[in-house]
Amino acid sequence: MTADLPLAVVTGGCGFIGSHMVDLLVEEGFRVAAIDDLSTGHRDNLAQHDGSGRVTLHERDILGLEPGDPAFAGARMVFHFAGRGDIVPSMERPADYMAINVQGTVRVLECARAAGSPRFVYAASSSCYGLASVPTAEDHPVAPEHPYALSKYLGEQAVFHWHKVYGLPANSVCIFNAYGPRVRTTGAYGAVFGVFFRQKLAGKPFTVVGDGSQTRDFVYVGDVVRAFLAAARASIAGERFNVGAGAPQSVNRLVELIGGPTVGVPRRPGEPDCTWADTAKIERMLGWRPRVSFEDGVARMMADIERWRDAPLWEPASIARATETWFRYLGRAGAKA
């Protein structure tokens, strides 16, 4: 019977990575309580589970969670993905980001603690490292460049504090550049895949930042959620694990795989030339390694490209308007440095 299956809670369960986490947990024999306010997540991301009795959607804001929330009752594991993303909005509304990404995390931690302290895994962001040396290990100095990065780092510190003070068995998975089916497309200028796919569908040139030689440690979402499950099943706690493919790819390589003309837009201050996760720790301690190559991952997304038909269409002029705040604040910070 479904009720006899172990329960896992996934906050942000209708989002990009969260919905893939739900899929993996169902495959692994769990029933799942997915918590999402649907502000950026999509109910359709869980449609494949409709009628299965394995997934229950709890439509609520994490800031409204209270200890004793029934969604957490009997949970064996909690995976915390819910929060605010995107860099520019975080500079425009920093208080919102601190409230949701920090205080919202505390709300989820308290619900987990009241539910008997199930295994807890937090979705951290590699942006906390700032303009880091590469490959970047977990002990690299933290240097957030914008409020989004700061809010995610402070949320992670709350998780480790709950582990230290209350004994909550918690780990953190620090995600580098995750990509894959269902990758977020919001009204904010952000993830390169959504931008490029929509441009290709519209027959527009790809807006390449700078000369496109900058590299990112793109890691496929299926590999990411396997890392989260490994971190939940581990007998250790209080650890941060970097998750990346360990093989940075240039934006020009992505353009080559998708295929199409390009147009340049200015490079932005506070962006690293390269992101590159040192994954030695998670490989050694949890036995995790990426499985999906960049070429295979992009091909899987291209097979579902129509999903981005309704995504925002970005062009150089609209990108310039959308990133004015970025240049205003991070350009000033770079000048002072």
Which residues form the catalytic set? 148
SS (H, E, C) 272-291: CCECCECCHHHHHHHCCCCC
Joined tokens for residue 219:
């890691």
Residue whose pair of structure tokens reads 């329960």 in the numeric block = 7
**26: Cα separation from own chain's centroid:** 20
Contacts 24+ apart (CB under 8 A), 53-57: 53/2, 54/2, 54/5, 54/26, 54/30, 55/13, 55/22, 55/26, 55/31, 56/31, 56/32, 57/13, 57/14
CA distances from 264 to 206, 284, 316, 317 (A): 8, 41, 8, 11
- Tell me if 58 sits within 8 A of 33, measured CB to CB: yes
Helix/strand/coil percentages in the chain, nearest 5: 45, 20, 40
Residue whose pair of structure tokens reads 């942006």 in the numeric block = 127
Helix (H) or strand (E) holding 36: strand 31-36
Joined tokens for residue 243:
């998750």
Torsion angle, alpha carbons of 319, 314, 123, 150, to 10: 10
Q: Strand, helix or coil at 177?
A: strand
CA dist 252 and 317 (Å) reads: 21
Q: Strand, helix or coil at 78?
A: strand
CA dist 257 and 83 (Å) reads: 31
